[in-house]
Structure 1
Amino acid sequence: MSETEEAMEAVRRYVDAFNRADASAMTDECADPMQILDGMAPHVWQGESATEQWWRDVQAESAHLGVGNYRILLDEPRHADVHGESAYLVYPASMSFDKDGTRHTQAGSVFTVALRRVAGRWRLAAWSWAKGH
């Protein structure tokens, strides 16, 4: 498997964990420190517990808005840059979720991920989600 494919596999594991609502498995794919930039307030999460803090806020926002059952679907990366121990991947993405008994899809999103190789394994060091339509 190439370095790029290995980095992409780490992102797939993270997204698969998100789709299972498994915050612990998401955290296992992250470097320390981790940084998250998302459209939901407070918008930035940092540090070793960034993923858990972000997930807690996702759950609170979901309860407030009456949404759930999130699922992310990634297309092939439009940009993949791997140099040594660092990688940068940019994915076209969509997110679906349930609201009031109806399935909704947010298409045209962009998931940007920076990774570091830590102890021989690719780990997410930062990600951002740009909401689509």
Structure 2
Amino acid sequence: MSNDPMAAVVEYVDAFNRGDAKAMAATCADPMQILDGMAPHVWQGPTAGEDWWRDVLTEGAHLGASGYNITLGEPRHVDITGDHAYVAVPATMTFDLRGKQVTQTGSVFTVALRKVDGEWRLTAWAWVKGA
């Protein structure tokens, strides 16, 4: 067990990079909330992560996007108050768009976490899109 909430954030992003929705969901608390630039923009509840991932794949198929990969930078904030934490970390996303690699820089991944049975779990995240 890590007392560093960033470990849970890294675990979530690693699962995302593998396209493993079940592993992403395993890092989340219930309930979970996601705020993202893709419609419908908000997902919440016990299946928020899996619902969001399903919508990512649907949108990706529609746009010709795939091969998503996130690289995290050094966190700007890792604030812990008891069993709650707030993390804001710069991020870069790469993906394939109709055969061309796209690199989206300047994004920020902001995450709220809480301890569940002694383990940090994501309770909400927001992706602020970069350039």
Q: TM-score range by the shorter chain?
A: over 0.9
- Inter-partner Cα distance in structure 2 for 1:22 and 1:36: 17
Deviations 1:68-104 (CA, angstroms, capped at 9, x unpaired): 0000011011111001100000001110000121111
Cα distance, 1:130 vs structure 2: 0.5
Runs of 4+, deviation exceeding 4 Å? none
Conserved? CA contact 2:2–2:119, under 8 Å: no
- The residue that corresponds to 1:90 in the other structure is 88
- The residue that corresponds to 1:110 in the other structure is 108
- Inter-partner Cα distance in structure 1 for 2:50 and 2:87: 22
Match of 1:54 among 47, 52, 55: 52
- Inter-partner Cα distance in structure 1 for 2:36 and 2:22: 19
**What TM-score do you get using the length of structure 1 for normalisation?**
0.96
- Inter-partner Cα distance in structure 2 for 1:13 and 1:80: 16
Whether 1:10 and 2:8 are equivalent positions in the alignment is: yes
Segments of structure 2 that go 5 or more residues without pairing to the other structure are none
Cα distance, 1:43 vs structure 2: 0.2
Q: Could you tell me which amino acid in structure 1 is paired with residue 31 of structure 2?
A: P
Whether 1:29 and 2:24 are equivalent positions in the alignment is: no
**What TM-score do you get using the length of structure 2 for normalisation?**
0.97
- Inter-partner Cα distance in structure 1 for 2:51 and 2:2: 32
Q: Could you tell me which amino acid in structure 1 is paired with residue 68 of structure 2?
A: Y
- Inter-partner Cα distance in structure 2 for 1:59 and 1:79: 30
